[in-house]
Amino acid sequence: MKKNNLYIGLLYMALGAVCLAFALSTENSLGSLLFGFSGAGLIGGLSLIWRYLYWSSPKRRDVFEARLEENQINLQDEFKESLRNRSGRIAYLVTLLVITLSIVVFSVIGSLGVLDTKLLVLYLSFLWIFMYGIGIIIYRILMKKYQ
């Protein structure tokens, strides 16, 4: 396993410790958010370090090499690549649909006076426009690249 994984794990641990120190020293509403970041950093870092140490063991090196080779074959398999592309496209379309329905629902809630949802509807509208636009831009860039 690459030493880079160990360094990233140590970096996560350091960031988690910094967030924990700030969370323990603050008395405002950011404390709970910082506790969450510290937990994510510490647990994620420990996970990466454990995985590095586990797979770097000499008795597991052969198994790791075989798994790595199998993963490379799977990543380059054209059928699986096509499925990944298709699933990404479907997820993109479903996300656009969910955002559209959310805009409608929050507009109705806002017009009934239940909640003030003007900013939320504006945010979702801009998000929808951004996602649609970035999808077109990325498609055109990829078309130029592969033609």
pLDDT at 81: 81
Same domain for 55 and 82, yes or no, is no
* pLDDT tens-place string over residues 47-101: 999 999 998 888 888 898 899 888 888 778 888 888 888 998 999 999 999 999 9
CA 104 to the chain's CA centroid: 27
Q: What confidence score (pLDDT) does residue 73 get? A: 85
Q: Do 92 and 133 have their domain in common?
A: yes
Answer yes or no: is pLDDT of 1 > 80: no
Please check whether residues 131 and 83 belong to one and the same domain.
yes
Q: Domain residues for 20?
A: 3-60
Question: What pLDDT, on the 0 to 100 scale, is given for residue 105?
Answer: 92
| Of 31, 60, 89, the domain-final residue | 60
Q: Are residues 33 and 91 in the same domain?
A: no
Contact between 108 and 120 under an 8 Å Cβ cutoff? The reply is no
| pLDDT value at residue 115 | 85
* Same domain? 39 vs 93: no
Same domain, 50 and 84: no
User: 89 and 55, same structural domain?
Assistant: no
Mean pLDDT of 101-128: 91
DSSP H helices in 1-147: 3-25, 30-55, 61-76, 78-112, 118-146
Please tell me the pTM assigned to this model. Answer: 0.60
Instruction: For residue 7, tell me if it sits in a domain.
Output: yes
Q: What is the reported pLDDT for 93? A: 94
What are the tens digits of pLDDT across the range 6-52? 999 999 999 999 999 999 998 888 888 899 999 999 999 999 999 99
Confidence class for position 113, pLDDT limits 50, 70, 90: confident
Task: Name the domain boundary from 28, 60, 92.
Answer: 60
How many domains would you assign to the chain? Answer: 2
On whether residue 105 sits in a domain, the answer given is yes
Q: Determine how many CB atoms are found less than 10 A away from the CB of residue 132.
A: 13
For residue 65, being part of any structural domain is answered with no
What is d(CA 65, CA 62) in angstroms, rounded to the nearest whole number?
5
Residue 147 pLDDT exceeds 90: no
Nearest-angstrom CA–CA distance, 10 and 4: 10
